[in-house]
Amino acid sequence: MQSTMMRFPLTLDHILERAGKLFGKSEIVSRLPDRTLHRYAYNDFHRRARALAGALQRLGLKRGDRVATLMWNHYAHLEAYFAVPCAGGVLHTLNLRLHPDDIAYIANHAGDRFLIVDDILLPLYDKFRDRARFEQVIVVSLSREKVAERAGSLPSSGTPTAGRADYEALISDAAPFTPPALDENDAAGMCYTSGTTGKPKGVVYSHRSIVLHSLATATVDYMGVAHADAVCPVVPMFHVNAWGIPFTAVMMGSKLVFPGPHLDAESLLDLYQSEQVTLTAGVPTIWMSILQALEKAPARWRLAPGMRMVVGGAAASETMIRAFDKFGLRVTHGWGMTETSPVGTVNYLKRELGGRSAEEQYVTRAKQGMPLPFFEVRAMGGEAEVPWDGMTMGELQVRGPWVAAGYHDLDQEADKWTADGWFRTGDIVTIDAAGYVKITDRIKDLVKSGGEWISSIDLENALASHPRVAEAAVIAVPHPKWGERPLAVVVLKAGDAATEEELRDHLATKFAKFWLPDGIVFVNEIPRTSTGKMMKAVLRERYRDWRKRDEE
């Protein structure tokens, strides 16, 4: 028996049109390179996104064509987020923090035909332009200089010459937009992994996966994006769709606040205050700098009471969560990957945990949370699923409607998926009886000492709880007897001092003796990837010959 329901496609054009019809007066605020604020409303965004879609069609965009962006978080990038897929193209955000060689490889591997680029990023584009195969480059003038002076001549008709065009001229002279008949399984967006192991790998998102991801993240117990919110995605729009926040916020008609290229703590706090941001999202390194600024000048900023801060990309320590609580700011822990669109789990306290002590609640809040609706998880130890007891570790495997089933034009990574269709994340986790997932490590980052597993993340979080420690990384170093031993690499807070013995004593109250690092190395900074993750492979190479003093 078939249902009597309409076959209504889950496509992004419905979100764009909803925004224009229902939320025309909602505001979009962007900080420009010169630090001024650009303001306009959803009705302007709707009109301009449709104009950009029409301009791309006039330039020859065909269904399935890839349109790359090399842009910061701002209003024009939001326009591209909707214009490209609604015109039948595929939005491909290029990570501007990658090496130019990697950007060129990614653009060519994806088969990008068009590029939309901020004028302030033209110097970066020039570093790989001779190796990329773009047919057309469209330049957004954020610096308010005439693009023709920076990027070649442009006739008054807006028709491009010399392969470059002015963004504003194109959309002001665009032909009427003719919406194509979209299928919900059509490709809508692309993002490449940050390439920490081998070449970056491309994930292709469908209209359907983005719409379902947006609906799930909007729910109250997860990101809880509401029309009344002022939403500031600090997480970059040039990687994993800024965690899907732009799509979700537009669907709900929320006020959007974009920080542009100004991501230092004071600039963000000034923006949070002036726009009374209620929901923001980013990686722990951003929040560490914001926390330090608040601790240094607690009375300087008057933020929206209870501002929610979604933290992902790396583990947020319990210490950080506690510290922000003191300022009346709520940290919400989450987890995801490029391959999961990216949000897979978000932390909220279930009803039965409400009566537990504050200490027990903090332990739970420091976990990565529970899976979103329709997102399924399991932890595997070899061929068997491990129990949900909060203690037994296994590899996290996931499946769902916004989880990748393969990589773009890459067959040799098929072992990332199990025979029964689950994606192998490479994260080692425990799952407790209530369903909370806790990342204990990446498979490649676990320390195996004398046959026993040691979690580098647990040690890092414990070190970060020391009042003089800014951040810490724990890596495995070779050992002649035990196979591997943990080594801690520590960054102290500015102006503070601590000894190796002091930090070991701090850890000794929390862990078995064999877990304690054989050494603690003090450094000025820890190397990180373009997405803010610690580059432990670099540290392992740097300290591969490290030996404990009494072994030398």
pLDDT tens string 454-510: 888 889 889 989 999 999 999 989 888 888 899 999 999 988 999 999 999 999 988
Q: Which domain holds residue 465?
A: 446-551
| Contact by Cβ (8 Å): 156, 177 | no
Q: What is the largest CA-CA distance in the chain?
A: 77
Is residue 536 very low, low, confident or very high in pLDDT (cuts 50, 70, 90)?
A: confident
- Report yes or no on 52 lying in a domain: yes
CATH number at residue 319: 3.40.50.12780
Do the domain assignments include residue 233?
A: no
Q: CA 30 to CA 18: how far, in whole Å?
A: 22
Length reported for the chain: 552
Q: How many domains are there within the chain?
A: 3
Instruction: List strand residue ranges (DSSP E) for 265-375, in order.
Output: 279-282, 308-311, 330-336, 343-346, 370-371
What DSSP designation does 298 have?
T
Which pLDDT does position 197 carry in this prediction?
53
Residue ending a domain, choose from 214, 235, 256? 214
Q: What pLDDT sits at residue 230?
A: 98
**Complete DSSP assignment for 108-176:** HHHTEEEEEEEGGGHHHHHTTTTT---SEEEEE-SS---HHHHH----TT---BTTEEEHHHHHHTPPP
Supply the pTM of this predicted model. 0.86
Whether residue 226 is contained in a domain is answered as no
Compute CA 53 distance to the chain's CA centroid, rounded to the nearest angstrom.
Answer: 26
- Beta-carbon neighbour count of residue 125 at 10 Å? 22
Place of tokens 């209003």: 75
Query: What is the rounded distance in angstroms from the CA atom of residue 479 to the CA atom of residue 487?
Result: 11
The confidence score (pLDDT) of residue 145 equals: 75
**pLDDT for residue 444 is more than 90:** no
Instruction: Please check whether residues 76 and 168 belong to one and the same domain.
Output: yes
Residue 184, pLDDT score: 98
Rounded CA gap, 453 and 446, in Å? 7
Q: Using an 8 Å Cβ cutoff, are 97 and 108 in contact?
A: no
Domain boundary among 214, 235, 254: 214
Asked whether residue 6 is assigned to any structural domain, the reply reads no
- Letter for the amino acid at 98? L
Residue 409 burial by CB count (10 A; 0-12/13-18/19+): exposed, middle or buried? Answer: exposed
Tell me if 246 is assigned to some domain.
Answer: no
Give the pLDDT of residue 159: 43
- Tell me how many degrees the CA angle 288-256-327 measures, rounded to the nearest 5: 35
Do you find a cis peptide bond into 342, omega within 30 degrees of 0?
Answer: yes
**Distance between alpha carbon 247 and the CA centroid of its chain, in Å?**
14
Active-site residues, by number, are 193, 339, 448, 453
**Nearest in space to 367 (alpha carbons), one of 321, 325, 399:** 321
324-377 pLDDT, tens per residue?
A: 999 999 999 999 999 999 999 999 999 998 889 999 999 999 999 999 999 999
Cα–Cα distances in angstroms (integers) from residue 130 to residues 46, 75, 88, 122, in the given order: 35, 28, 28, 13
User: Euclidean distance between the first and final Cα of the chain, in Å?
Assistant: 76
Does 489 lie in the same domain as 437?
no
Same domain, 529 and 545: yes
Span 120-162, pLDDT tens digits: 999 999 999 999 999 999 999 998 776 654 444 333 444 443 3
* Residue 90 near residue 65, CB atoms below 8 Å: yes
Check residue 351 and give its pLDDT: 93
Query: Sign of torsion, CA 406 407 411 416?
Result: negative
Task: Give the model's pLDDT for residue 149.
Answer: 44
Of 414, 443, 472, which marks where a domain is finished? 443
User: Is the pLDDT reported for residue 83 higher than 50?
Assistant: yes
DSSP helix/strand/coil, 13: helix
Question: Residue 502 sits in a domain of what CATH number?
Answer: 3.30.300.30
pLDDT at 60 over 50: yes
Residue 187 · residue 64 · CB < 8 Å: yes
